[in-house]
């Protein structure tokens, strides 16, 4: 364990036998997976800890299709080779398929700080054809004595059109359509309406000539100039 994980895949019984210590699920380590801002099929994988620890000394890290531990997917790029190495030979011995850079373990038992640790994982073209869940798996050894098998975390391959950070629950806020009440260009508003919604000018009924009464002339009264005599 001092120069890397003894196995290519997580095997709880074998790990406990090799280290003579049981796995401890209370150590508080978890994965945090964040999509790349420039490539929807590249992800940053970090370790976090809810129990107050700020470091670890060793790990085994890889990605698989859900339920298939005989093939490790993608590859890790920009690996800090002063602290980590690829577990290529051990995976070949165990018959685990995958890219030569698909499985990572530690190089030495020195403390590695969580705040400085980030792994960049990139899906291969063949991985994009997978229809089921793709998950990151890992075992972490704490500084001192203690190991934890982390809960697998799903990686949203392809991004589904809109890439959002895993676990944030953030959704883009839709932009409301302009309406006459809220403002906006009236021509655009009316153009987007359906025929039934398009406002029309009220029609003025045509006049029926036979129904129009001719105006009645008023004759003014003229005082008579004839005088009456008795």
**pLDDT on residue 177:** 43
The pTM of the whole model exceeds 0.95: no
**pLDDT on residue 197:** 47
Q: How far apart are CA 85 and CA 172, in angstroms?
A: 38
Set out the domains of the chain in order of their start, with CATH numbers.
12-161 (2.60.40.4060)
- Give the pairing type, strands 103-106 and 58-65: antiparallel
pLDDT over 50 at 135, yes or no: yes
**pLDDT on residue 59:** 96
Lowest mean pLDDT among 50-64, 128-142, 205-219: 205-219
| Span 70-99, average pLDDT | 97
pLDDT digits (tens, 9 = 90+) for 42-73: 999 999 999 999 999 999 999 999 989 999 99
């Amino acid at each position: 364990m001092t120069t890397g994980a003894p196995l290519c895949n997580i095997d709880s019984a074998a790990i406990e036998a090799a280290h003579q210590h049981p796995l401890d699920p209370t150590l508080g380590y978890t994965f945090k997976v964040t999509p790349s801002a420039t490539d929807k099929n590249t992800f940053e994988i970090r370790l976090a800890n809810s129990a107050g620890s700020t470091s670890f000394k060793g790990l085994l890290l890889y990605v698989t299709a859900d339920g298939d531990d005989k093939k490790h997917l993608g590859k890790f790029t920009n690996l800090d080779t002063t602290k980590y190495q690829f577990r290529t030979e051990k995976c070949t011995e165990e018959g685990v398929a995958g890219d030569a850079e698909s499985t990572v373990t530690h190089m030495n038992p020195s403390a590695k700080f969580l705040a400085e640790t980030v792994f960049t994982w990139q899906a291969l073209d063949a991985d994009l054809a997978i229809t089921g869940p793709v998950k990151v798996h890992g075992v972490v050894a704490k500084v001192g004595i203690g190991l934890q098998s982390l809960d697998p975390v799903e990686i949203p391959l392809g991004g589904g059109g809109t890439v959002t950070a895993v676990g944030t629950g953030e959704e883009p806020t839709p932009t409301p359509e302009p309406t006459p009440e809220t403002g906006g260009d009236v021509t655009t508003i009316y153009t987007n309406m359906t025929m039934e919604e398009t406002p029309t000018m009220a029609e003025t009924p045509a006049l029926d000539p036979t129904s129009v009464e001719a105006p009645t002339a008023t004759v003014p009264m003229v005082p008579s100039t004839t005088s009456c005599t008795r």
